[in-house]
Amino acid sequence: MTLIIQVLVISLVLLSIILVVGIPVTLASPGQWEKSKTLVYTTIGIWTGLVIITGIANSFVA
């Protein structure tokens, strides 16, 4: 169970880094927001799901 939580946390950290860099670059680039809006929203949804899943999985560890 600990290994699963470690994988979830690592993936959450990596996705967070990608979002921290990617969203400002997307917003600063002219015309890129319209092209990649669905990708940004999908990635944010995945990040939110990872936060919830990690929290639920962490509640099972003593």
Output phi, psi for 61, to 5 deg. Answer: -95, 135
Structural domain span for residue 10? 2-58
Count of structural domains within the chain: 1
Q: What distances in angstroms separate CA 4 from CA 18, 26, 32, 46, 54, one per listed residue? A: 21, 32, 36, 17, 9
The whole-number pLDDT of residue 1 equals: 84
pLDDT of res. 61: 86
For residue 24, what is the domain's CATH number?
A: 1.10.287.740
**Nearest partner of 50 among 8, 7, 6, judged by Cα:** 8
The per-residue pLDDT string of the chain (62 residues; one tens digit each, 9 = 90 and over) reads 889 999 999 999 999 999 999 999 999 999 888 999 999 999 999 999 999 999 999 999 86
**50: CB partners within 8 A, 6+ apart:** 8, 11, 12, 15
